[in-house]
Structure 1
Amino acid sequence: MSRFLFVVPPLVGHINPTVGVAAELTARGHLVAWACPDPELVLRLAGSGAGAVFACAGAPPGERPAELRGPEALKFLWEWYLLPLAEAMAPGVRTAVEAFRPDVVVADQQAFAGALVAERLGLPWATSATTSAEFTDPLSGLPKIGRWLDERLAGLRAAVGDPAGAADPRFSPHLVLAFSTPELAGDSRAGVRWVGPSITARPTASDFPWEWLDARGDAPGDTGRATVLVTLGTANTDVGGRFLDVCRSALRERADRVQAVIVDPGGTLQPAQDEDKGDTDDKDVLVVPSVPQLALLERGVGAVVCHAGHNSVCEALWHGTPLVVAPIRDDQPVVAGQVAQAGAGVRVRFGRAGARQVGAAIDAVLDDPGYRVAADRIRKAFRAAGGAPAAADRLDELAREFR
């Protein structure tokens, strides 16, 4: 029996992939604990069998300007969130390590405190890479920002890590678990263990109106219209209103062959006025604050329109569903590029695309079989990679190596 401490940021997309891994380790008789600034979020996602959850401080609150894009947005992400998060989490992570006494620390690639505290205390640590964007070296063409980041990471290591250490806290020298495969991510650095997405069952809301959906229309022999799912994830409610409205317009124009489910957690969409009928009863587009995404994808979806968040992309491709991707910020432009390069979807501009451009992209992924063929190729690679059990195998090996 070994002990594993998962150190995660308070972000759904970074916790969800590790939930299945932790459950797999627990089923094998190991002990699992968590360190996170939002213990309630961990418990909600991981359930009652999560194990001990240690609270950490989080990054200080602040507003990120929505208009930032490109290099400035990337620098702001590090300066505003990632580096302050590491500094704030470090004391709580150290307390968790001292209380739980893990054999291995599993540190999210954006929760540097886990890596640096483990390094300082002489513990083996594994990187949990819930997005493959870092493997492409997004700073390779930005030398000034790269040098600035190196200096800041050195300062962070001096404060909370081993001043004599040399490992990049984003890439463990012991084990890097990547929840993707090269079929989507492309080439990567040596030593990465590609385990594919960790897709596990989640609680399904009982109030989703399944009866609203047509009989499936996106497989040979089925009747009814194809379903298109539109989602911008859980962290983009502040900027998504215009794009969701554009998607609704494009999809209503295709109501003869498409019905849409639009996820609008912030309630930004106003009721759509049907000019022909003079009412606001939209029978072709369902707008809901949340959706049982995995269950809907399992039922059958013709296409997913999303922000190119790594989890959303991987969950769609796990089911062989092609995508229209409209990246907003952070790692999303890199992931969107991976989708387009793999031939599994079409990229549109989040801030500028209108109904015509979005509609054309949806038509392409629904009508051109090449996109579904590419998506299915990635689906097969994902499922062959092993997912949560494969990640648990690698962690078990690492614990035994250092025992």
Structure 2
Amino acid sequence: MARVLVVMMPAEGHINPSLGLIKELVENGDEVVYCCTEKYRTKIEQIGAQFKAYSFTEATLLNDPDMKPFEIKHPYQFIYMVLKHIIQRFIPDILKLIENETYDYLIFDSLIGWGGQILGKKLGIPTVCSTTTFVFVEPLGSDNDLEEDDEEVKRLYNGIMELSQQLAAQFNVAVPSLAELAKHAGQLKIVYTSRYFQPMGDKLDDSFVFTGPSIVPRMDAPAFAYEPLHAPYKQTVYISMGTILNKDLDFYKLCFTAFHDLPIQFILSSGKDTDLEPLADLIPDNFIIRPYLPQLEVLQRVDAFLTHTGMNSTSEALYYNVPLIMLPLTSDQPRVASRVQELGAGVIVDKNNLTPEVLRNAVLEVLSNASYREQAGVIGETLREAGGYKQAAAAIGSFLGNRPLSATSRLHI
């Protein structure tokens, strides 16, 4: 069978969607080598893949201010970030990790962009892009208001030209065009949503395969007692701001103020590294708080989800027909939230106009209006019908066709 190289960004929202696919490939007999930071070794090895760790650590990335999520106001900002802070850092490290090794095809994170094409070219193998958010039919940031003659835009453009030429020379590949840098890389793109949920999905060609979210049990998920749910309360709301943006104590305090007297059970995932001790005396009786929760299991038992609208969390909620109260903060989250609201499966609350009353009214609106759950169910059906990780594995098999495997040349440095 095939020997597969997988290169992923070290973030739960990028890794979790890939787990079902990787497990399926392993069970089908493929040998999978998965590259990420040491933090994720156990999670990857539990599904049967081999693991290789980058030379840099999780802390190195999280402490880099240029790797923090930010609002994209022009496409050049995103392209420059990928070139300078991902490709320039990741690709040399990956090439060193796999020096003199042989692979049959590559699966790479969409955030690596053109870097995936570099790896494919160096190895002489087909490339599959793992796309964990919406496809950007139009370049990310193109709907914002930075003008082409803005000094910041000019600086970014010059930086992109210089970096792309430098990296092309370093890796002995052709210099990419600006259009090539802006588009989604990979010969095959696995997209973990449905074509229905994808904005302008009808404009994307067949190289984009929509498989829906990859729903598989998570070996590292903690146990959680479900018996208290809905007793004495009739409705339950789950609150989670993901794994990166979950340390805002002011937001948690606002939730306690907004919801303390509602006859609703609230379940809050506060984050493994979040210290809630300063708020201990403010926690209402109708709150259950845990540092980390088995999100897939929780979502099957709740009536609504208050979320930052990360693509992974949003998809998992909709997969289980759960309507959303959305607080998009950064990156692609406003775009995801806008699509959910457009399709009638949730409401958006403005991060710049956030008060206890605004938050409370949004939660009550979603819980009291059955149309939100109905529309979440419409999206959820398309996500479930997309086929999940089995469809993703089948699409890769079809893409590879009858190409001879285990006969590739060694890495060309």
| TM norm. shorter chain > 0.5 | yes
Mapped pair 1:214 → 2:230: yes
Aligned partner (choices 39, 44, 47) of residue 46 of structure 1: 44
Shift in Å at residue 104 of structure 1?
0.9
Cα-to-partner distance string for 1:227-277 (whole Å, 9 max, x where unaligned): 101100001134x222222223222232x2x1101111212474465xxxx
Find the counterpart in structure 2 of residue 398 from structure 1. Answer: 399
> Any idea what SS the aligned residue of 2:200 has?
coil
Mapped pair 1:285 → 2:287: yes
Note the residue ranges of structure 1 that are not aligned, 5 or more in a row.
216-222, 274-279
Amino acid across the alignment from 1:264: S
Amino acid across the alignment from 2:107: V
Find the counterpart in structure 2 of residue 14 from structure 1. Answer: 14
Partners in 1 of 2:324 and 2:7 — Cα distance? 31
Find the counterpart in structure 2 of residue 241 from structure 1. Answer: 249
Find the counterpart in structure 2 of residue 277 from structure 1. Answer: none
Partners in 2 of 1:369 and 1:283 — Cα distance? 27
**What count of residue pairs does the alignment treat as equivalent?**
383
Check 1:164–1:84 CA distance in 2 against 1; reply closer, same or farther (3 A cut).
closer
Find the counterpart in structure 1 of residue 120 from structure 2. Answer: 118
Mapped pair 1:229 → 2:221: no
Partners in 1 of 2:228 and 2:176 — Cα distance? 57
Check 1:65–1:44 CA distance in 2 against 1; reply closer, same or farther (3 A cut).
closer
Partners in 2 of 1:14 and 1:149 — Cα distance? 27
Find the counterpart in structure 2 of residue 261 from structure 1. Answer: 267
The question of whether the paired residues in 1 share the 8 Å contact of 2:311 and 2:333 is answered with yes
Partners in 1 of 2:255 and 2:158 — Cα distance? 39
Partners in 2 of 1:45 and 1:251 — Cα distance? 35
Amino acid across the alignment from 2:191: A
Check 1:345–1:159 CA distance in 2 against 1; reply closer, same or farther (3 A cut).
farther
Shift in Å at residue 70 of structure 1?
4.9
Shift in Å at residue 281 of structure 1?
6.5
Find the counterpart in structure 1 of residue 333 from structure 2. Answer: 332
The question of whether the paired residues in 2 share the 8 Å contact of 1:77 and 1:330 is answered with no
Amino acid across the alignment from 1:190: D
The question of whether the paired residues in 2 share the 8 Å contact of 1:107 and 1:115 is answered with no
Find the counterpart in structure 2 of residue 101 from structure 1. Answer: 102
RMSD (Å) for aligned C-alpha atoms: 2.9
Find the counterpart in structure 2 of residue 201 from structure 1. Answer: 217
The question of whether the paired residues in 2 share the 8 Å contact of 1:90 and 1:160 is answered with no
Partners in 2 of 1:365 and 1:348 — Cα distance? 12
Note the residue ranges of structure 2 that are not aligned, 5 or more in a row.
405-413
Partners in 1 of 2:227 and 2:317 — Cα distance? 22
Cα-to-partner distance string for 1:139-196 (whole Å, 9 max, x where unaligned): 3235645846853555544433622556448623520111011322221332311111
The question of whether the paired residues in 2 share the 8 Å contact of 1:87 and 1:160 is answered with no
Shift in Å at residue 315 of structure 1?
0.7
> Any idea what SS the aligned residue of 2:65 has?
coil
Partners in 2 of 1:199 and 1:89 — Cα distance? 28
Shift in Å at residue 335 of structure 1?
1.1
Which deviates more from structure 2 when the two are superposed, residues 392-401 or residues 21-30?
392-401
The question of whether the paired residues in 1 share the 8 Å contact of 2:199 and 2:339 is answered with yes
Structure with greater contact order relative to length (CA < 8 Å, sep ≥ 6): 2
Mapped pair 1:186 → 2:208: no
Check 1:33–1:369 CA distance in 2 against 1; reply closer, same or farther (3 A cut).
same
Check 1:164–1:75 CA distance in 2 against 1; reply closer, same or farther (3 A cut).
closer
Shift in Å at residue 323 of structure 1?
0.4
Partners in 2 of 1:68 and 1:384 — Cα distance? 33
Find the counterpart in structure 1 of residue 373 from structure 2. Answer: 372
The question of whether the paired residues in 1 share the 8 Å contact of 2:78 and 2:140 is answered with no
Shift in Å at residue 49 of structure 1?
3.6
Find the counterpart in structure 2 of residue 172 from structure 1. Answer: 185
Shift in Å at residue 305 of structure 1?
0.6
Mapped pair 1:132 → 2:130: no
The alignment-based identity, stated in percent, is: 25
Cα-to-partner distance string for 1:55-95 (whole Å, 9 max, x where unaligned): 224466423698964528x8766656763222122123224
Check 1:149–1:399 CA distance in 2 against 1; reply closer, same or farther (3 A cut).
farther
Check 1:231–1:209 CA distance in 2 against 1; reply closer, same or farther (3 A cut).
same
TM, length-normalised to structure 1: 0.85
Partners in 1 of 2:317 and 2:393 — Cα distance? 23
The question of whether the paired residues in 1 share the 8 Å contact of 2:256 and 2:283 is answered with no
Partners in 2 of 1:67 and 1:250 — Cα distance? 27
